[in-house]
Chains A and B, each alone.
Chain A
């Protein structure tokens, strides 16, 4: 039985010329776990907002949507609230109250449920999600992953039948993101709740979902099982093929068999193809970085925020060469951003030396919003050269806050570049970006010819584009090297491709390298 039945839906925003949705026809069955993906701005969010009447945007609509065979326009506000759940992107912004227990109860209070009943339902949810231990905490004290889990729980608690999520993991670190996605799977499996999810982390989601919808330019391109969608995208050389799970991409280049989505099945395939010999691919030798011309040197730097606080940086040393892209990888909330602020001289270390041959260092913060002062992008930039270089000329007349996350990131980067810094510091530059924006960002960074230091969780991005990577742990850089050397030395903290071919090909870390090495072997 279908939950949603969309018939020839076309939608146009009042201020835009182009339609945001064109002739969408779609059935979603009860209990299915559906992934909706596509480039930023393709209309994903507009489509899912049409499934939640209270959030549906204003504009010109044609066509019909039926929710459980009633027209969605006839769905009452109460049904809308209690049956269709909606989780937004940013974990911080959707929390309403100051205490965890109150947040859980908020929706039930709105529905007018009595105190005894709320107590029971809240207790049930706290147990299901393992929230008991932080039940009385302040919502502000939670980590990003916990916040998003709370947002999810406070919607499930209302007894929803359908759950719609708009890029719920884009602001989370990889570990919390995977936890969150697995919780969704659990909800789908154990509670039978229909889930419609938009997501950029396709690598992790493909193996979890029942069906995948791919949207392109306001239309539906594919609607099929993950396997068929993946196969189609790779065969048509669609740009999104680059975001498909690594094992599938490798397998598609080598065989015509069923595409594997997990590392485990990918490894089995490689064993089958090239055996268990440990190959050291000799075509993959890296050019060493010339560290004689260091533009920046940190030696034994110690930092703490307060006199009695704990050390955040504990004798950190690092050398950065002129013109390289140095990526600092590491866990969440351990002080990587602090390190960038120390380099940018926003914070002063209490011991250790920082030497740099230039004074012009600029930091792009994690939240580009902190940079926006003016009412239009052109007022922010006042420089056409840079807007051309970053491909944002078409955005000049917009208000910075009306842009998408990726566009905001580019405008902020352009603003930083106005001062023409020698060293560019980037804090999580790929956070929340889809594969299109990531590729564009990498291209821009390469074309700048500047020394770049970035901190990131994004292993795949660093492996592909950095000249050197450093592993940050416990206030120090504990290992560093060019990406291939760096990642093939790591057992767990490494790319999917490297994990997939560990003990099979010992020095390949990107999909391309694995494919090429295998093809050489197979010849």
Chain B
């Protein structure tokens, strides 16, 4: 199995990639685009070894959506309620369902690849104070989970609500008191001095810049050319353009293409030894 080498890229690259694929997944409802995006998302899920069965949601939405949508001209049959069931609404329902699943699939990949520290790095550039708060919160959550358990053990009761209220109440006092130490520790290390800098372990290398530019150019092209329009209702109507499809495919499959290239490079290097 191929490893996901794309995850090792600089957070900015990952961020540009996910912003574009998710935006396009919502925006490009052209059937071919939907197929490209969903196939890419599923391949990427496989590359990341995420096994999530999403057929259930798909089925539910694709059945429900057309049932409520009565617009369209090509009537297939009439529902018991007397409303027409049209081909257009069926197609539209299926397309929307595809879109929703694709977006969820992309977010599954996103959650695995863009870990909190990568996100914090990106935030830290733009909003340093907020990103420090987030970092502090992420540090406190595991500590507080342990504390929640300790308090629950020490104060058993039959009523779930009463326990929860008591636990939260003790938690607030305890944590606020101990947070004074945190504030002292920050003060002792000079928090609040002017010209604070932001440190990170990430280094932007040439390959990161090249891939970023590639992603931006492809996205820009797709936005500007705007040739992949589609309407489903009342009449199914679409435009198409082969170059746009190809570019969209390359954009969506970027992580997979890069991983395969990297894999081949390794194979080549090993064969040289």
Contact = CB atoms under 8 A, between A and B. Distances in A.
**Touching chains A and B, CB distance < 8 Å:** yes
Interface of A: 52, 54-55, 77-78, 80-82, 85-86, 88-90, 92-99, 101-102, 105-115, 118-119, 122, 136, 138-141, 151, 154-155, 158, 341, 346, 363, 365-367, 369-373, 401
Chain B CB within 10 Å, residue with most, of A97, A101, A109: A109
B74 interface: no
A365 B188 contact: no
Interface string B156-184: 10000000001001100110011101101
Contacts of A55: 184, 187-188
A133 to B, nearest CB: 16
A36 to B, nearest CB: 18
A93 B189 contact: no
Contact of B196 (A109, A140, A365, A371): A109
Contacts of B192: 77, 110
B193 A96 contact: no
Interface string B63-100: 00000000000000000000000000000000000000
B150 A367 contact: yes
Given A93-B181, A93-B185, A96-B136, A346 B190 contact: no
Nearest to B201: A101
A230 to B, nearest CB: 32
B172 to A, nearest CB: 11
A346 B153 contact: yes
Contacts of A141: 142
Contacts of B225: none
A92 B201 contact: no
B129 to A, nearest CB: 12
Interface in B117-143: 117, 132, 135-136, 138-139, 141-143
B193 A112 contact: yes
Contacts of B154: 363, 365, 370-371
Given A55-B184, A96-B135, 13 more contacts: A81-B193, A82-B190, A88-B185, A94-B182, A96-B139, A106-B186, A110-B193, A112-B195, A112-B196, A139-B139, A141-B142, A369-B173, A372-B173
Nearest to B186: A96
B238 interface: no
A373 B189 CA distance: 33
Given A86-B188, A365-B150, A367-B150, A373 B170 contact: yes
A113 B197 contact: yes
Given A98-B135, A401-B177, A373 B193 contact: no
A93 B182 contact: yes
Given A98-B135, A102-B135, A367-B150, A154 B201 contact: no
A97 B139 contact: yes
B151 A108 contact: no
B155 interface: yes
Contacts of A111: 190, 193
Interface string B194-212: 1111111100000000000
B118 to A, nearest CB: 11
A134 B33 CA distance: 44
B116 interface: yes
A-B interface, 8 closest residue pairs, ranked by CB to CB distance from nearest: A81-B190, A94-B185, A140-B142, A93-B181, A107-B189, A98-B138, A112-B195, A110-B190
A365 B155 CA distance: 11
B170 A109 contact: no
Given A52-B188, A81-B190, A365-B153, A109 B199 contact: yes
Contacts of A77: 190, 192-193
A92 B197 contact: no
A93 B178 contact: yes
Contacts of B189: 81, 106-107, 110, 154-155, 158
B191 interface: yes
Given A77-B190, A102-B135, A346-B153, A115 B182 contact: no
14 contacts: A55-B187, A93-B181, A98-B117, A105-B199, A110-B191, A115-B197, A115-B198, A139-B139, A140-B143, A141-B142, A155-B189, A158-B189, A370-B147, A373-B166
A109 B197 contact: yes
Chain B CB within 10 Å, residue with most, of A141, A346, A369: A369
A102 B185 CA distance: 14
Given A93-B181, A140-B143, A99 B198 contact: no
